[in-house]
Each structure stands twice: as structure tokens, then as C-alpha cells.
Amino acid sequence: MTAVEAFAPAKVNLALHVTGRRDDGYHLLDSLVMFADVGDRITVERATGTKLTITGPMSDGVPATDDNLVLRAARLMGIDANIQLEKVLPHAAGLGGGSSDAAATLRALAGLTGQPIPDNVVGLGADVPVCLGNLAARMRGIGEDVQTLHDMPALYAVLVNPNIPLSTADVFGRLQTRDNPGLPTALPTGQDPTTLIEWLREQRNDLEAPAIAAEPRIKQVLDAISVTSGCRMARMTGSGATCFGLYLDGENAGAAAGRLSEAYPSWWVKPVTLNNPPDLL
């Protein structure tokens, strides 16, 4: 086998509740996560040393230095490889791009060599465990507690980023209340999209308010999504600045993406399907 490719999909936090903070400073989360059918791509092949090449429309500003999560993932596997990262997702955007890239690297290197993925991947980043699965999931704790949710519908969405990188540390630093209620014990599995979206409307992203305080243009993004035809709800994902709108059909989602792209040509806008990833590693 000469090369292995793996997909690194965008992670979308449909709801994100901050439930506490540990003594070591790590925040505790309770989040419902789905993955989109848009994302980065990782290609790996055997080599005598490890080299990372970054290409793609969003490659500017992504460092190929030793602290890049892709290279850290390769070191964790202990495998030398030429690694190409095709960067499609905006970085520092709340889409889990770095963690998804790391997870894809782990899957690709495991596929290339047959070597199992180590158990201690949470050390790479809080989102890496959930990104390894690429499936709808509830993630809790600092990201190490992942419950895969098999009976969830696909959802039509539009992802919007105003091309503003946002520091996760800055957003958490502005959080006023850290001991918030978690998600309900029982999640609405086995429901249709309408019922799930209505349930989601009652949940929160506790990082949305501090993110808006750090970057007020996020509110403009949310407002712009909310008034598109057929939008059932709009929310920020992760620590921002990417926001999403949910729709009941792909036609409305596609039309909304077109209108947003026309009105705000500098924004990154993508119509996507959640919970229906391409069949790649």
C-alpha cells in the first residue's frame, strides 16, 4: 500500500453546555455533536522521516511546525510518513478542524501500517476522541467521555464563518458562569428532524455570549442566518466564530447558502448535510 487517504470532517456542536471546571483549569462540557460532509483531507505514505505539506484554499496561516496536531498525531503513532493536509475548513473556527485532522491522521496511519491507534488520544486535544468516530455523539467531561448515538437523523445545515479567527482561550476567559446545567439525561434519539430541531432550540451553546463579546460580528452572522427562508434555528458551534443554521430540506439550505454568499462575499459559506459523512477512512 503506497498511500492512504482519510477524511477530516467539520465537527458541529449542535448544543454545548459548560458544566464546570477542574482544578487543573480544564473545562467540563456536555455537548451533542454531529459531523458535516465537508472537511479537510489527509493523505499519508511511508517515508524515512516525517514531513507535513499543507495545501488547499484555507492553507494560509496554518503552521507546519512541530505543534501542529497532525505532526503530534504522527509522533503519537511513532510512524514516519509524508503527510499531506488539504485544508478546506477555516482554522480557529470552532469546527474542530485541528482535532479532526489529527484524528484523520491517526486513522490513515493505522490503515497504512496496521498499527492500532493508541488509547490516550485525548492528550492531543479534547475533540480528538469524538473526531475519531465521525459519528453523532454526546461528548462529556474534557472530551474523553464519548457516547456514540446511532439513531439520529441527518440534518440539512448551512455553515457560515466570517473569516475571523477566534481564540478558544479568549472565549473561555470571558465565560461568566462555568457551572451550568448539562444536557437532559435522555437525548431525543429515534426522532425525526423536526422533533430534534425543536429539542435543540431549548438547549444552548454557553460559549456563544462570550464569543460575541470577543467578536461582535458573530451576532451579525447569527442574525443573517436567522432571517433566511426555512431556517429553523441558528447557533454558534464550538468556541466560534463559525455559526450554523438548520433547515428541513436541502433545497432551503442551498438557497440560504446562495443568498448569504451573495450578500456577504467575504464570508465562508457552505451548505452541508450533518450526520451523513462521505465513506472515507
Does residue 281 have a pLDDT over 80?
A: no
pLDDT over threshold 80, residue 1: no
Q: What angle do CA 140, 204, 161 make, to 5 degrees?
A: 95
The structure's pTM equals 0.95
Under the banding of pLDDT at 50, 70 and 90, the label for residue 92 is confident
Query: What is the rounded distance in angstroms from the CA atom of residue 134 to the CA atom of residue 27?
Result: 23
Distance CA 38, CA 11 (A): 10
Residue 280 has pLDDT above 60, yes or no: no
CA distance linking residue 76 with residue 117, whole number of Å: 9
Catalytic residue (one of 11, 30, 87, 101)? 11
pLDDT of residue 120: 85
Instruction: Give the integer Cα–Cα distance in Å for 228 and 252.
Output: 9
Residue closest to 236 by CA, chosen among 196, 278, 195, 200? 200
Collapsing DSSP states into helix, strand and coil, what is residue 73? helix
**CA angle, residues 181, 182, 187, in degrees to nearest 5:** 135
pLDDT at 278: 62
Name the active-site residue from 30, 40, 101, 127: 127
CA angle centred on 145, ends 100 and 211, rounded to 5°: 60
**Class of residue 273 by CB neighbours under 10 A (exposed 0-12, middle 13-18, buried 19+):** middle
Q: Which pLDDT tens digit goes with each residue over 121-143? A: 988 988 999 999 999 999 999 99
Q: What pLDDT shows up at residue 86?
A: 98
Domains of the chain: 4-147 (3.30.230.10), 150-274 (3.30.70.890)
Which pLDDT score is estimated for 204? 98
Residue 186 has pLDDT above 70, yes or no: yes
Task: Please answer whether residues 138 and 31 qualify as being in contact, where contact means their C-beta atoms are separated by less than 8 angstroms.
Answer: yes
Q: What's the whole-number mean pLDDT along residues 34-53?
A: 96
pLDDT at residue 108 tops 80 = yes
Residue 252: strand, helix, or coil: helix
Higher pLDDT among residues 63 and 193, named by residue: 193
Q: How far apart are CA 30 and CA 85, in angstroms?
A: 30
Q: How far is CA 215 from the centre of its chain?
A: 19
CA distance 166 to 146: 25
Please confirm, yes or no, whether 11 is among the known catalytic residues: yes
What is the share, in percent, of the chain residues with pLDDT greater than 70? 98
> What element of type H or E holds 76?
helix 69-77
Amino acid identity, residue 185?
Answer: T
Compute the distance between CA of residue 18 and CA of residue 35 in angstroms, rounded to an integer.
20
